[in-house]
Amino acid sequence: MKRYFHPLILPIYAVLFLYSHNVGHIGFRHVVLPLIAVAVLSVAVYGLSTKALHDQRRAALITSCFWVLFFSFGRVHAIITGTRIFLPDAGHYYSLLLLWIVIFVVLSLLITRTTRNLAIVNRFFNIASAALMVIVLASLAMSTVFTHMQASQHAEVAPEPEPVQLQLPQQPRDIYYIILDGYPSSDTLKKVYGYDNSYFIDGLREMGFFIADESRSNYPLTVLSLSSSLNMRYLDEMPKTPGDDSRQTAVTHRLIEENTVARSLQQAGYNFVHFNSGWGPTIYSREADENFLCGRVGDEFTEALINLTPLMPALGGDGARRRILCTFSTLPQVPQKVEGPRFTFAHMLPPHPPYLFDRDGEPLGRSEMQMTGDVWKNREAYLEQLRFVNQQVLKMVSKTLQTDGPSPIVVIQADHGTASLGERITGGWSDPEEDFLRERSSILNAYLLPDNVEENLYSSITPVNTFRLLFRHHFLADMDLIEDRVYFSCYERPFDFREITDLLKEEEEGAKD
């Protein structure tokens, strides 16, 4: 290893390369264990190869070939299948795996049987691996400096959220805050998708839910929407959020994890229960009293790294399906598993792509995890998954309401609407047309609240006021509702907010006239 260091450098480079593309989103602590793991495994593979072949030169090349094939598998699989999340299609996956094994065996045979001078090849691998490491370290250094410069310029350290003083009722009710990602209003489903969602909405109403059928999301992106609703404030009013030109969302990740709503309820005596969503900031909460992991293999970075390798089936479509089904089945059991009173937060990715379920819960086959683009245009697949979600939500809520104590408080809400018009119209996300703004902002927003709280609900309430209303009227908190506003921003400039409240109101008033 002293002479031929490339077998150790290449796997470390693969880990650091992935990290360099996510510097603003995850901390270095998530990278430490994967780095140690690949380093130890590399030394072990290299040592075993050297012992078996009695030749360091050949063992070094075989080990490096193994790592190149190992970490390139997922990217090649993505190119073949045309996806941006690695959900193994049996045909593509196993065909590529067989090809990779054949390539490795052939390369190993060539290396062990050749009579040529392998010292030159090893020197080339040393130089190439060293060059790659220098490039990735330089990239990390530049990203770190840039992040610190932005932090200095925009004060990108989130403020500690101040808990709200709540008065606990004599019989405190359990609270469930359920986010159905990308679930639009019935009006959007009818006008854009040609789908009548009355069965689901009527089912909720029969259980006592109030449907805010004119509700809109305050922001078009999940990370912004949850940061706002869980802290009951608009992001542009928070003094330490990033500037307009920033793409660093680490501050909003912290706002989601260390949110005001959960801390206020915990301070009042509630236990905070958190479900793993499979998506970055809501995979796990260090603030929660109880985390239901539901199929989690590792943290977000570890899972992303595994997705680059032949080990991807451990995190593929079946794993995602199991996690979602686990959440549906486990959430009603929270009262039996956690001491009350309980505040349960469950961010569920469906009906948002990837499309994992048909209406009967069967797999829909290969899918894509994209935020924009053609994936939203597959309206048939979206509706199939939505029908399945509708069935499961009604069953889950029905079971959740079967309690001996006081009826729980349940909020079922979307973080944003759909985006099927985002790439069909001129301008797309960068210069959105009004039809797309209406589609993206229109959301499902359903409340099951005590009578004295429900009487204060109104059809156009937005998520930023959800817990303001609940805290004011149920927990007698000294806080008022704020004006319901709607903002738009794109993925490239998430903090460059454009208020569209008046635009949407003018459109709605014009449509009524």
| CA distance linking residue 293 with residue 298, whole number of Å | 10
Average pLDDT, the chain: 86
**Helix (H), strand (E), coil (C) string for 252-273:** HHHHHHCCHHHHHHHHCCCEEE
Q: Is residue 160 part of a domain?
A: no
77-91, 292-306, 366-380, 384-398: segment of lowest average pLDDT = 77-91
pLDDT tens per residue, range 238-258 = 655 566 566 667 788 889 999
pLDDT reported for residue 216? 98
CATH number of the domain at 269, please. Answer: 3.40.720.10
Indicate whether 265 pLDDT > 60.
yes
**Top-confidence residue, 74 or 126:** 126
81-90, 195-204, 378-387: segment of lowest average pLDDT = 81-90
**Domain end marker among 93, 122, 154:** 154
pLDDT reported for residue 298? 58
Indicate whether 374 pLDDT > 80.
no
Q: Is residue 168 part of a domain?
A: no
Q: Is residue 316 part of a domain?
A: yes
Number of domains in the chain: 2
pLDDT tens per residue, range 98-111 = 999 999 999 999 99
| CA distance linking residue 485 with residue 384, whole number of Å | 32
φ and ψ at 275, to 5 degrees?
A: -105, 140
pTM over 0.85: no
Signed CA dihedral, 46, 47, 48, 50: sign only: positive
What does R_g of the chain's alpha carbons equal in angstroms?
Answer: 26
Q: Examine the domain organization and report whether 33 and 101 are in the same domain.
A: yes
Q: How far is CA 325 from CA 358, 414, 451, in A?
A: 13, 19, 32
Average pLDDT estimate for 219-247: 83
| CA distance linking residue 245 with residue 342, whole number of Å | 39
pLDDT reported for residue 235? 92
What residues have CB less than 8 Å from 196, skipping those under 6 apart? 189, 190
Indicate whether 423 pLDDT > 70.
no
Q: Is residue 169 part of a domain?
A: no
Q: Examine the domain organization and report whether 322 and 461 are in the same domain.
A: yes
Q: Examine the domain organization and report whether 325 and 468 are in the same domain.
A: yes
Q: Find the domain containing 24 and state its range.
A: 6-154
Q: Is residue 79 part of a domain?
A: yes
Q: Examine the domain organization and report whether 123 and 270 are in the same domain.
A: no
